[in-house]
Structure 1
């Protein structure tokens, strides 16, 4: 493998995320990414509720976004 050409390109991140979310929406809980992303959203919402600066909706989005990113770019 060439070190100059990494396996994942950052410019493909949004298209990969869009494809992953579409697959998750069509397959529901049968898709392997759905449960980890929902878990990340729940943990983020709880953390957002406990932290004084961040609200739970921001925590929910941040947690889901982080887990989606980790599923796309392990």
Structure 2
């Protein structure tokens, strides 16, 4: 068994996401992640509106979550 640090950084995902969200809340539209995350939320809501199974709030949250993840882990 290898005791070295894993190559990926997913073990710090929650603290990184929390810091990113706090920065977005404090800086608003001036934060570099705000616009991409809002765009992802809109795209997710529109895509969910086209699908009969998924409602737009679920699409909104999913789209925002995907873009936030992409901003944290490029």
Give the alignment's TM-score, normalised by structure 1. Answer: 0.90
Deviation at 1:11, TM superposition (A): 1.2
The residue aligned with 1:15 is 15
Deviation at 1:5, TM superposition (A): 4.4
Give the alignment's TM-score, normalised by structure 2. Answer: 0.90
**4+ runs deviating over 2 angstroms:** none
* Structure 1: 5+ residue stretches without partners: none
**Superposed CA RMSD:** 1.1
Separation in 2, partners of 1:51, 1:64? 17
Separation in 1, partners of 2:49, 2:28? 27
* Structure 2: 5+ residue stretches without partners: none
Question: What is the number of residues matched between the two proteins?
Answer: 70
Separation in 2, partners of 1:14, 1:56? 25
Separation in 1, partners of 2:32, 2:9? 22
